[in-house]
């Protein structure tokens, strides 16, 4: 009888990690049947409709509909709803990707029920315990039976934390599987998209959403000033997440920075690959720009993806006007000389699937 694999996703980046794995497991229908559970942690309908279409991902089988709330409240709601779902699911394996609240909540429920647990993108560490994501990562890895790592530094982090090496599988970056599969489609969209957004080449692409950068009015104002200064040199386009938009108020309105509505995965990937530089605070964008060879300026004090700095195109900068402007200008002048990290080759999901097939 096929083993029942339950995939739990809670935020957009989770889908980019889950889609290729579901496709890889679907090639073995005699061994696996799959259920996709969306917790509802992130729930913007327009964004998700586009995402399902772009990734060719089926609509989730189950939507737990937990909604927003504090980290504690949201984690508890996911635990309650997922626990209830598992009452009738007869799950053999729960797979959680990434580091959002849904990841930890589902991991806790699976572990307490004695269901085998796999963590995709295990071992990443920023070493900053003030980040909720860091707590989610560390605790999920302690609970997981199978830990699939994207880079060698992640293996070393797990070793230092006392994780049995037999549970750890270095498979590469599964997000790159999705990127590589959809990259040709994205490339074809860039000319029309750039024209529609009135963006000339070269341009700088911006994405900011983390609380330290956007929740504090003064902090965001400083970054807005930096972006406006950069826009004096080169076009700057900023697809603004709804959360950032709510906090931005009138900042950047009517100025030289081109603020646009959030983009679907393919459109964002098109702009990302075509950019001369990307300014971000997103973990996934750090990885994508490294793979694409696009200079990246990350407005954060630390990163859980140091391989993007040591081997890729990423540079960390302080959230200060002069630092951001200088870093972007340096990136524009220097261009990129990328080296793709080991096993970032578009086949990570295949390696995970083979490990799961062997896990009997």
Residue 47, both tokens: 């964004």
Catalytic residue, chosen from 42, 71, 209, 241, is 209
169 catalytic residue (yes or no): no
Angle, nearest 10°, between helix axes 12-26 and 348-358?
A: 60
Q: Cβ(286)–Cβ(314) under 8 Å?
A: yes
Kindly give, in sequence order, each residue whose CB lies less than 8 Å from that of residue 248, ignoring residues fewer than 6 positions away: 214, 220, 224, 240
In 3D, which of 120, 129, 155 has the Cα closest to residue 19? Answer: 120
Residue 208, classified by CB atoms within 10 Å of its CB into exposed (0-12), middle (13-18) or buried (19+), is: buried
298 forms beta bridges with 280, 316
Q: Which residues are catalytic?
A: 209
């Amino acid at each position: 009888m096929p083993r029942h694999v339950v995939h739990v996703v809670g935020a957009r980046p989770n889908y980019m990690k889950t889609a290729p794995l579901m496709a890889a497991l679907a090639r073995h229908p005699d061994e696996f049947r799959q259920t996709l559970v969306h917790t509802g942690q992130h729930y913007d309908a327009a964004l998700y409709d586009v995402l399902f279409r772009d990734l060719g991902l089926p609509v989730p089988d189950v939507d737990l509909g937990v909604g927003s709330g504090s980290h504690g409240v949201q984690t508890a709601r996911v635990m309650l709803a997922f626990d209830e779902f598992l009452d009738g699911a007869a799950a053999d394996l729960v797979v959680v990707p990434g580091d959002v609240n849904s990841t930890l909540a589902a991991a806790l429920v699976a572990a307490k029920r004695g269901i085998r647990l796999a963590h995709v993108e295990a071992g990443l560490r920023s070493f900053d315990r003030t980040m909720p994501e860091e707590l989610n990562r560390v605790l999920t890895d302690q609970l997981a039976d199978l830990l699939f790592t994207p880079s060698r530094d992640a293996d070393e982090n797990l070793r230092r934390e006392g994780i049995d090496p037999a549970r750890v599988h270095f498979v590469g970056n599964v997000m790159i599987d999705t990127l590589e599969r959809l990259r040709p489609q994205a490339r074809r969209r860039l000319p029309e998209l750039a024209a529609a957004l009135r963006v000339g080449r070269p341009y700088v692409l911006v994405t900011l959403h983390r609380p330290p950068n956007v929740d504090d009015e003064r902090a965001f104002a400083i970054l807005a000033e930096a972006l406006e200064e950069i826009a004096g040199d080169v076009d700057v386009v900023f697809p603004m997440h709804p959360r950032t938009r709510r906090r931005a108020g009138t900042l950047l309105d009517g100025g030289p920075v081109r603020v646009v509505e959030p983009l679907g995965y393919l459109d964002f990937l098109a702009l990302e690959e075509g950019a001369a530089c990307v300014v971000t605070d997103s973990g996934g964008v750090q990885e994508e720009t490294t793979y694409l060879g696009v200079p990246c300026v990350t407005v954060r004090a630390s990163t859980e993806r140091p391989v993007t700095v040591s081997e890729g195109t990423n540079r960390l900068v302080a959230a200060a006007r002069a630092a951001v402007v200088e870093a972007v200008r340096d990136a524009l002048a220097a261009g990129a000389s990328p080296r793709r990290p080991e096993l970032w080759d578009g086949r990570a999901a295949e390696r995970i699937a083979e490990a799961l097939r062997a896990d009997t």
